[in-house]
A and B are shown apart, each in its own frame.
Chain A
């Protein structure tokens, strides 16, 4: 299907990845096909502890409609989730629970830190609050804001889609990834 035909219709299609096209065949890398499929069907696991969670509810609902990005299926079990969205202040007492949730997710898994608290502790520069979730789990995308607007959360999800599309299928086998997880003591 050529680009001019897509514009004529209202149906949104994912862009065709780079590849060789001929009569009756199209060839491309497995990585890009898998990446395309993954990026457009990221199942979110909302870990909402405060006001950023309220913004995410708006993001989920019809007005901002995260379903447009293939993420309408909220997964409240970490086992069937791809994208952990941490929204809100994480107290130090909660840090091991967050970590356990992350460990229970199966590969491939990605993390978005939504809002100032999840990214850096935010205004809570205090003994009881974790100063950013990247102290306990690796983070792929940070969304700033206190709280961020739904547009910003969607922008964060789109940034994550870019990462997912351009990542190797075998990401978890790469030495960099293993080293990253080892630095968090996650095996």
Chain B
């Protein structure tokens, strides 16, 4: 019998109370929000509970919401997959804009290693307890976290484009 979303919701609410909120099904995928300090506990519960059995971490990624209130400016999104019942879920943890920190998921899934490094590389989100939190895709000398919206997308060193015709902001010239 397939795993019902109501079962997932009831189990999580029973176990974690108001740390787990905002249950909603978006495009056939059950989603919810987890308080960032309970992330590791919730993920371990989802993985190890004999009924839930979310045995696979599909994805870890970051989002920047610069217009949100200060303690919700970053989000880390986790996708998990139950291979036994073929059910997928997604949950978000919102983080502080000044000091984005969250526990690592590598204690539950070793596959989170590179995904968390990538999220750190592009958003500067610190994963506490990660075994080797350093840049993975960008060059080591880079000082910015390029997917944060305060950094310009374009490279300022470009000389063959006239800024006026390409809608560039002027401060990107100092990269």
Residues of A within 8 A of B (CB): 91-93, 95, 120-121, 125-129, 131-132, 135
Asked if B151 lies at the interface with its beta carbon under 8 angstroms from chain A, I say yes
Residue pair B146, A125 in contact (C-beta under 8 Å)? no
A120, B160: Cβ atoms closer than 8 Å = yes
Q: Given A93-B138, A93-B139, A126 and B157 touching (CB < 8 A)?
A: no
Nearest CB of A to B136, in Å: 10
CB of B138 within 8 A of CB of A129, answer no
Among candidates B144, B146, B158, B175, residue contacting A120 with C-beta atoms closer than 8 Å:
B158
Q: Collect the chain B residues with CB atoms within 8 Å of residue A91's CB.
A: 139
Other than A127-B155, A131-B159, give 7 A-B pairs with Cβ distance below 8 A.
A92-B142, A125-B155, A125-B161, A126-B154, A127-B146, A127-B175, A128-B138
A51 to chain B, nearest CB (A): 20
Q: Are A125 and B158 in contact (CB under 8 A)?
A: yes
In B121-175, the 8 Å CB interface with A consists of 137-139, 142, 144, 146, 151-155, 157-161, 166, 175
Query: Given A92-B139, A93-B138, A93-B139, A131 and B157 touching (CB < 8 A)?
Result: yes
Residue of B nearest to A92 (CB): B139
Between-chain CB contacts (< 8 Å), 13 pairs:
A91-B139, A92-B142, A93-B138, A95-B139, A121-B158, A125-B154, A125-B166, A126-B155, A127-B144, A127-B153, A128-B138, A128-B146, A129-B155
Chain B interface SS verdict (over half): loop
Report the bound CA distance from A92 to B142 in whole Å: 10
User: Which 8 residue pairs are nearest across A and B when measured between Cβ atoms?
Assistant: A93-B139, A131-B158, A127-B146, A131-B157, A125-B154, A120-B160, A92-B139, A131-B155
B154: A residues at CB distance < 8 A: 125-127
The range of chain B's interface size is 10 to 19
Give the residues in chain A near B151, CB-CB below 8 Å. Answer: 127
Q: Can you list, as one digit per residue, whether each of B69-113 has a CB less than 8 Å from chain A (1) or not (0)? A: 000000000000000000000000000000000000000000000
The closest CB in chain B to the CB of A93 belongs to B139
Alpha-carbon separation in the docked complex, A4 to B161 (Å)? 51
Chain B nearest CB, measured from A145 CB (Å): 15
- The distance from the CB of B93 to the nearest CB of chain A, in whole angstroms, is 26
Q: Which residues of B contact A93 (CB under 8 A)?
A: 137-139
- Separation of A52 and B160 alpha carbons in the complex (Å): 20
A126 CA to B139 CA, complexed, in Å: 14
Q: Which residues of A contact B158 (CB under 8 A)?
A: 120-121, 125, 131
Bound-complex Cα distance A103 to B155 (A): 25
A contact residues around B159 at 8 Å (CB): 131
Alpha-carbon separation in the docked complex, A93 to B158 (Å): 17
State A121–B152 Cα separation when bound (angstroms). 16
Min Cβ gap A58→B in Å is 27
Q: Are A135 and B157 in contact (CB under 8 A)?
A: yes
Residue of A nearest to B147 (CB): A127
**A127 touching B139 in the complex, CB below 8 Å, given contacts A120-B158, A121-B158:** no
Quote the shortest CB–CB distance from B77 to chain A (angstroms).
22
B138–A126 touching, CB < 8 Å: no
Bound-complex Cα distance A125 to B157 (A): 10
